[in-house]
């Protein structure tokens, strides 16, 4: 949620039981503004909180000119000091999905190890190779945030618009969905790059907001 509207948006999502301490809220309001100035983001959002065994991670996301491609994730323990997370690459995603298991511990330098014994060759020539995949918790955090964004980041229809330069930006003339519109699931869209675009029928493509 946008750092400008943080103080009232938090009350609206409190129905699921996760709220923030008043101390954390105040710290967030201060630090997010500073973060925006230092990194020169267009908008900075409080992304959420990932629970760990010993410590919880608070995640913030900064958006640049293009809302979809220009995203940077940061994490913090006390809502004051923020550390940049590395962007998630495909190889990182592979490693994390193999090695990381169980809950987050709360220590970003904790290393998850995964031992795999691969056999190469056939029959008598079988060679056993031990493949050890090591991932540290920071990469796991980066990959988790990236995957959550890819799969469940949802925006109302009309909130974002593609400018003539090809940049995805906030639609300033978006007035919100009406009461009846907000009840329909069709009016909420995934905020991610299209997958399998060429295989969709023309009928489905008419439903999208902008395709080019």
Residues that bind another protein (CB under 8 A): 11-12, 14-24, 51, 53-54, 78, 101-103, 179
* CB of 203 vs another protein, minimal distance in Å: 30
Residues facing 157 on adjacent strands: none
Taking the least distance from each CB to another protein, the nearer of 109 and 180 is 180
* CB of 21 vs another protein, minimal distance in Å: 5
Taking the least distance from each CB to another protein, the nearer of 23 and 151 is 23
* CB of 182 vs another protein, minimal distance in Å: 11
- At 94, give phi and psi (nearest 5°): -60, -50
Taking the least distance from each CB to another protein, the nearer of 40 and 101 is 101
Kindly provide the b/e burial profile for residues 130-145, where b requires at least 16 CB atoms within 10 angstroms of the residue's own CB. eeebebbbbbbbbbbb
Taking the least distance from each CB to another protein, the nearer of 53 and 197 is 53
DSSP letter (8 states) at residue 197: G
Q: 3-class SS at 47?
A: strand
Q: Which residues have a Cβ under 8 Å from the Cβ of 175 and sit 6 or more positions away? A: none
* CB of 10 vs another protein, minimal distance in Å: 8
- Closest CA relative to residue 137, chosen from 53, 71, 72, 47: 53
């Amino acid at each position: 949620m946008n750092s400008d509207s943080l103080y009232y948006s938090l009350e609206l999502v409190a129905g699921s039981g996760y709220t923030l301490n008043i101390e954390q809220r105040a710290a967030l309001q201060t630090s997010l503004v500073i973060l925006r100035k230092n990194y020169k983001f267009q908008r900075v959002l409080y992304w959420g909180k990932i629970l760990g065994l010993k410590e919880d991670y608070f995640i913030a996301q900064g958006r640049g000119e293009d809302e979809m491609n220009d995203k940077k994730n940061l994490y913090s323990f006390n809502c004051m000091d923020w550390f940049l997370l590395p962007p998630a690459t495909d190889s990182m995603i592979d490693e994390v999905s193999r090695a990381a298991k169980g809950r987050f511990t709360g220590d970003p330098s904790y290393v998850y190890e995964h031992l795999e014994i691969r056999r190469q060759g056939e029959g008598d020539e079988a060679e056993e190779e031990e493949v050890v995949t090591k991932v540290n918790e920071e990469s796991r955090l980066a990959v988790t945030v990236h995957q959550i964004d890819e799969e469940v980041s949802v925006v109302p229809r009309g909130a974002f618009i593609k400018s003539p330069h090809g940049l995805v930006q906030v639609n300033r003339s978006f007035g919100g969905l009406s009461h009846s519109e907000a009840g329909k699931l069709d009016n909420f869209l995934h905020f991610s790059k299209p997958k399998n675009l060429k295989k969709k029928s023309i009928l489905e493509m008419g439903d999208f907001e902008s395709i080019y």
